A and B are shown apart, each in its own frame.
Chain A
């Protein structure tokens, strides 16, 4: 391949944390940076941090980050000479890669042919099998051939549509007796859903591990495997916690996986960073799943254990440089774990969350690859991942403990996240034993694993109430120096209610008097300001941070974090929604409206379907009645709590 000139300026055709991640290495290497940003991302940190940024009008991915033509125009306008696609969006779009190269720019990614080769599931599998990479046994079947194929690969088997996805037409078959009917059913469903009834059988693994190998190849015939990552902690194929090395991969298996992955990369004449994904059965047998022809979200754990900068390697390889010695002979040190912070309400069933991050503050000393910062607005347009927190320690146990601690001590205010789930998992016996598989999160109750770490919020409620009082006294311009809540004739306590938690307090001559829910609490107040309370409860003194945003108090202490919403003292006039109003359970896009004004409906009828986070959520009539109002239409973007339909 012809020598490529040195890269002087990189446009990142992506957003969020990965854009910032690439910029960081660019700055290390003295390369200028260019961002592209949609309207929804106009105030996002990555758009501000680049040396130059170009607007992509609109917010939907199809109008912005998926518009290769606009991105190439942005590169031309800014003089960028290379494009880094990040992950997602256009990163695995071979035609975009071709267009970049045709425009005379450097494509920081694999050859388009390799992208294409890995793009088709079945074809990739066949290619890998031919290259000697273990694959899950299986093959295309019809009701006539199914039994013999199933016998060859062994039960249980998975019946899958060849040209489809999303679980449609998919069936798990555990015995011969169920098979023929399942194939018939799957064909019918696939035909209906995708217009093609072709199905195939595949060996089905119960409770598998998800193991992947980072590979790197250059133009000088070097292909290396940078060891494995274990991404078994997932929810519905969305990775949540990743680590390297895997607790279930021994040296022999590692060698097998690495060799298979290098073979896979060679089979498609790979160049750059790629990931070969495997499932590993409970008995330790790996099988090829797919190859991702891009940099992965979870690449930092590999960086930690190898000491390499994968983005720097991508840039070097894209320039035609050979991989450095450190990459060609990689070594592994310690254990790294990455946790993904998602904006989601886990106990409510992993509903996506939105809002303004009133504070985003992760303790120092760990790596944070973050899309956001304090003040960022989290909307519904893109992926709900706020940040990745990555730690590196000598052992897996140490890394787990450290990451849990750091997450627990993080101040994340204004947007609900899966932080408590992450901490719980990292401290769970299953995780610590290295036993979680890809189905783990689907088996545990979200209400339990995502519940606040601090069950008893009374101490936090007291602290929040006292901090609120301190804030009001500090802000008082009339009689500012007088003691808080002073009474010449004391009677009732001052009251602050957070839903069910009613805190009563009074600063009496004998000391602070506190009640929660009418019950006296033994407290001593060492000091208080609007944002910090030094409070002793039942003889234990603790420092509690309180961050008040509007009527919400975000309370953090060594015991955990609480979000306490203060109940207004007076009912605000005119805020009551009409009876029978159906509100959006979460922010999202209206995909279907079945309600019509005047139509009679029964309780349970689906009136509106919302889509959020790639899932459809039906909104049902709560009572029998007549639709009196429809406030939205198909395509409307709605906030959580917005009234959609009124039934009277």
Chain B
């Protein structure tokens, strides 16, 4: 089989510059992750620990199989918003008793674990991943309910969470709630809607209305335990299936519930040799250009990601701005589409459409490596039907039913983001490298477009054009678009599933491929009409 050679030029000054730039981005990323890991800050963490309770990540560490991997999702959710980074939850995919599960854990150190709009977005995404990939859902509950100051943004859409849970159950995807503390009001429906419920003695508190609300509503005097204590729910109401002695016991019971799910993956297991790449993954730091305008060869990335660096390229001589071909990652066969020189022309679009159809006819998952500035514009291209050809690619990608994984390695602009299976095109997972940027177009181009439009408008009205104001405007717009297009900003909006260290690319894709094979992998038997 063809093996990708090591073609990196380590004497090129760009090699070191790229590496430096990537390391600096990673260092910056780490400071934001520290904020997420820090939860509600030392004061609230200490208070929580002082109550003999475990932190959400500690609960997860105990819940998943020892030495197994944990892929945390959307760790930077709420970055750039008014809410704390991490959105008061930890979500991710872990292996429990050999079963890949989606874990959602409230972080009670952040405003009591209250759900704010970003929390809803993050947990919503986690549930979407769980549903699409048929992952049993384990919720580690300790939340004061909706964040009251932002209830207006939560209340109406937030109710979908409970509907989702019961639909999971109907779809035969198990749902398990481990209740460590508060789970009140609307939150009470989380255990209420789950298939399996474990409550921690003297800690879990699950009721629709607490003593003050009951007093207000009916005048009845009551207390926490009689309204919603774990013992009461285990012995009287029957809402708790298991009464746990303490947190460790709850986690132990949670593991045994998963062990008894009799869970089987519906997709095939790995079928190819899973030997590591021949070339050093550490050099993935030096490949992506520090300057997004400088294209790089995605084969240098693949040489450090795919099994044994083996890559069978499809149509290598046609539409060379897009690399397509077959490989395997951790033994799972994949088809790969990777931008080589940013722009998508008609040939690239047609090549992609054909390749996507081939993958579907072979039930092979697809991996999209984005570094695109979009489809080519200009008279010649429009006249040659770039829209028709781009539409073929978008048709193919939209109606493809094999799992898609998308990784943004650099630029992701314009309709290129769509054609290369951007967020709105429903990839099972979408991750970004720290240098990634996504926007409708590049900041300079966008500012320039605005400038040209304003200038034309002024000219049409016969008004003089203020060049100074134009320069100011361009600068402002460029800065705004630049900051909005950053990976951090997009990750904060939960437009990706996380920013990953480039050196983790093979591991993340391998884990994601394992997860997508929990469902049946079945290619599309028909596509939309291809405009010819």
Report the bound CA distance from A125 to B159 in whole Å: 100
When A and B form their complex, what is the total count of cross-chain residue pairs whose Cβ atoms lie within 8 Å? 91
Of residues 463 through 511 on chain A, the ones whose CB sits less than 8 Å from some CB of chain B are: 469, 472-473, 476-479, 481-489, 491-492, 494, 509
Which A residue sits closest to B92, measured CB to CB? A488
A167 to B238, CA, bound (A): 68
By the criterion CB–CB under 8 Å, are B67 and A479 in contact?
A: no
B36 at the interface (CB under 8 A from A): yes
A478 contacts B507, CB within 8 Å? no
Q: In the docked arrangement, what's the CA distance between A571 and B245, Å? A: 10
Closest beta carbon of chain B to A254's beta carbon, Å = 63
Partner of A486, one of B99, B248, B507: B507
Type the 1/0 row for A188-203, where 1 means its CB is closer than 8 Å to any CB of B: 0000000000000000
Q: Chain A residues near B98: list those with CB within 8 A.
A: 476-478
Residue from A479, A491, A492, A509 within 8 A of B69 (CB atoms): A479
Judge if A443 is at the interface, Cβ distance under 8 Å. Answer: no
In the assembled complex, B522 has its CB within 8 A of some CB on chain A: no
A489 touches B67 (CB 8 A): no
Residues on the B chain within 8 Å of A487, using CB:
69-70, 72
Do the beta carbons of B510 and A482 come within 8 Å of each other?
yes
Contacting residue for B68 out of A476, A570, A573, CB 8 A: A476
* B249-A483 in contact (CB<8A): no
Which A residue sits closest to B431, measured CB to CB?
A488
**A569 CB within 8 Å of chain B:** yes
| Chain B min CB distance to A513 (Å) | 14
CB distance from A482 to the nearest CB of B (A): 4
Beta-carbon contact of A488 and B510 below 8 Å: no
B248 touches A571 (CB 8 A): yes
Interface check B274, CB cutoff 8 A: yes
Instruction: With both chains docked as a complex, state the minimum distance between the C-beta of A504 and any C-beta of chain B, in angstroms.
Output: 11
Question: How far is B255's CA from A569's CA once the two chains are assembled, in angstroms?
Answer: 12
Of the candidates A476, A479, A494, A509, the one having the most CB atoms from chain B within 10 angstroms of its own CB is: A479
Q: Is the CB of A488 within 8 A of B504?
A: yes
Is A481 touching B69 in the complex (CB atoms < 8 A)?
no
A509 with B503, Cβ < 8 A, contacts A476-B65, A488-B70 known: yes
With A472-B66, A479-B95, A483-B507 as known contacts, state yes or no: A488 contacts B71, CB within 8 Å: yes
Given contacts A478-B98, A478-B100, A482-B330, whether A491 and B57 have CB atoms under 8 Å apart is yes
Assess the B75–A489 pair: CB atoms within 8 A.
Answer: yes
Q: What 0/1 pattern do residues 381 to 414 of A give for CB contact below 8 A with B?
A: 0000000000000000000000000000000000
* CB pair A478 B500 closer than 8 Å: no
Of the candidates A469, A476, A486, A573, the one whose C-beta lies within 8 Å of that of B70 is: A486
Decide: A478 near B514, CB < 8 A? Known: A489-B33, A570-B252.
Answer: yes
| CB-nearest residue of chain B to A484 | B67
A492 to B54, CA, bound (A): 12
> For residue B270, which residue of chain A has the nearest CB?
A481
- The residue of chain A having its C-beta at the shortest distance from the C-beta of B248 within the complex is A570
- Give the most central of A487, A571, A573: most B CB within 10 Å: A487
**A483: which B residues are within 8 A, CB to CB?**
69, 507
Cβ A488 vs Cβ B68 within 8 A? no
A481-B70 in contact (CB<8A): no
Task: Give the residue among B69, B98, B510, B511 with the most A Cβ atoms within 10 A.
Answer: B69
Chain A, residue nearest B62 (CB): A569
- Are A488 and B508 within 8 A (Cβ)? yes
A488 and B500 contacting across the interface, CB-CB below 8 Å: yes
- Given the interface contacts A481-B331, A482-B507, A489-B37, does A494 sit within 8 Å of B67 by beta carbon? yes
Q: Is B443 an interface residue (CB 8 A)?
A: no
B424-468 at interface with A (beta carbon < 8 Å): none
- Residue among B66, B69, B255, B500 making CB contact with A482, cutoff 8 Å: B69
| B138 → A minimal CB distance (Å) | 15
Alpha-carbon distance A484/B95, docked complex (angstroms): 13
The answer, yes or no, to whether B153 is at the interface (CB within 8 Å) is no
Residues of B within 8 A of A476 (CB): 65, 67-68, 95, 98
Of A473, A477, A489, A491, chain B has the most CB atoms within 10 Å of the CB of A489
CB of B478 within 8 Å of the partner chain? no
* B273 vs chain A, min Cβ distance (A): 10
Q: Which residues of B contact A485 (CB under 8 A)?
A: 66-69
Contact pattern, B 95-127, Cβ under 8 Å of A = 1, otherwise 0: 100111000000000000000000000000000
Please, which residues of chain A bring their CB within 8 A of the CB of B67? 469, 472-473, 476, 484-485, 494
Residues in chain B near residue A479, CB distance under 8 A: 68-69, 95, 100, 510-511, 514
CA distance A482 to B95 in the complex (A): 12
Q: Which residues of chain A come closer than 8 Å to B95, judged between CB atoms?
A: 476, 478-479
**B-contact 0/1 string along A573-593, CB 8 Å cutoff:** 100000000000000000000
Q: Are B68 and A478 in contact (CB under 8 A)?
A: yes
Least CB separation from B95: chain A residue: A478
User: CA separation between A570 and B72, bound complex, in Å?
Assistant: 24
Closest chain B residue to A471 by CB distance?
A: B67
Q: Which residue of B lies closest to A572 (CB)?
A: B252
Complex Cα–Cα for A489 and B69 (A): 11
Q: How far is the CB of A177 from chain B (nearest CB, A)?
A: 68
Which residues of chain B come closer than 8 Å to A469, judged between CB atoms?
A: 66-67
Is there contact, CB below 8 Å, between A488 and B514?
no
CA–CA, A366 and B274, complex, Å? 46
Q: Does B9 contact A (CB under 8 A)?
A: no
Closest CB in chain A relative to B346 CB, distance in Å: 38
- Give the residues from 397 to 446 in chain B that come closer than 8 angstroms, CB to CB, to chain A: none
Task: List residues of chain A with CB within 8 A of the CB of B514.
Answer: 478-479
B523 interface hit (Cβ, 8 Å): no
7 closest A-B pairs by beta carbon, nearest first, are A570-B252, A486-B69, A489-B72, A482-B69, A469-B67, A485-B67, A481-B330
A-B contact pairs, 27 of them (CB 8 A): A472-B65, A473-B67, A478-B99, A478-B100, A478-B514, A479-B69, A479-B95, A479-B100, A479-B511, A481-B331, A482-B510, A483-B69, A485-B67, A486-B504, A487-B69, A488-B72, A488-B92, A489-B75, A492-B61, A494-B61, A509-B503, A569-B66, A570-B251, A571-B248, A571-B252, A573-B245, A573-B249
Measured CB to CB, the residues of B under 8 A from A are 33, 36-37, 57-58, 61-62, 65-72, 75, 92, 95, 98-100, 245, 248-249, 251-252, 255, 270, 274, 330-331, 498, 500-501, 503-504, 507-508, 510-511, 514
Point out residues on A near B: beta carbons under 8 Å: 469, 472-473, 476-479, 481-489, 491-492, 494, 509, 569-571, 573
